[in-house]
Structure 1
Amino acid sequence: MTQSTDTTVIRDAATIILLRQGPDGPAVLMGQRGATAAFMPDKFVFPGGAVDATDALVPVAMPEPCRTRMAQGHANPDALAAAAIREMWEETGLMMGLPGDWPDAPADWAGFAAHGLRPDAGGLRFVFRAITPPGRPRRFDARFFLADAGAIAGDLDDFSAACEELSHLHWVPLAEARKLNLPFITEVVLAEVQAMALGEDLSATVPFFDNSTGVSTFRRIA
């Protein structure tokens, strides 16, 4: 078996696949990365990014069985959930939370707390895991969460508070999303989400593309 000599640090990361019902059926929120981005330039992606140190201080709690499945990756399930909510807020301006005071919020969450919200992971479902292959400028051990847009506080079409990391933020009909310029793994995840939207029960396991070595391995997390 060939082992990779890539020494790039693999960082934990989290992504939210946010779905809403549109006039043409289920629609997913996506945005386009910049042409000069170091990682996946020009590609359409879901909002997400790497876990920050302060995400472990955020009071969220992943529901079961997601928590147990995520813990198999030797990561902090709650920190990953917090990172997913934070990244979506930063990149889209949309907030997943419940009303409540949060006086001791970490500094990079102060803007979230200022809206009178506390982040809530109750609507997140762990549906996919993938590790970036060797040879890429950045590598991530990414967990993908599926969430219904009903968990968002506020206007689902208001992206005015978004940072500039993603452009062309819009709701894409799920049936058309795979026609966009997508990373390979995003295509694979979308196929899984489409199957769920069509009523297939895929809750027994979570797909995992493990590219931590030079050999790509697919398995399912029970």
Structure 2
Amino acid sequence: MFQVTLWIELLAAGLGGLQGALFAAGEKHRRIDVLGVIVIGLAVSLGGSLLRDIVLNQPPVVIWMNWYLVVAAGSAILGMLVQPVLARADWLITGLDAVVMGVFGAIGASKALSLGVGPAGALVVGIIGAIGGGMLRDVILNLPISFLQVGTLYAVAAGAGAGTLIVLAAFGTPIMIAGVVCVVVTTLMRLTAIRFGWRFPEQGPVRRPRSRVR
């Protein structure tokens, strides 16, 4: 029986809150106030878990676990405070975003497996958990949804990590080891895609046939 322990859930909440706040605090041109930064941090921290539990028809852990909101909010405040020091470290925010995706993807896939969901369903749940926080962040900030944009490979990186976890678990690998591998695979694929500009072909405009004038 797969189990997601409390400290792993809280680690994901903390990393999500930190990354979301760092991202929001860096959006100086939007003039986001302190409350707004904290809200964005909470959105990144809670979004993936909330969507995951809704899809799995489970009580949302973000509501039922007392420490989840506390850790997420505290991490968001920390992110807001340290952002001025890290203002030029865009690579840190990008890297942390990739790690957060991997952690939430691993939790989502393993929780789905623990409930008896099949491999395909667990893969979908893992992807939803990985990208849910980023989706909610983009919606609140009125930004283009990240995983729908050319060159991001958000969902591909999340799927690669969650898929790796599912395969390893099927072969009897301890879930903790499989989860770590999931985080590593997701992070490396995401950062490599950014570094080398990997992308899917962009949808081009539909060309209408020219009518011939006789």
TM over 0.5: no
More helix by share: 2
TM-score by length of structure 1 reads: 0.28
Structure 2-normalised TM-score? Answer: 0.29
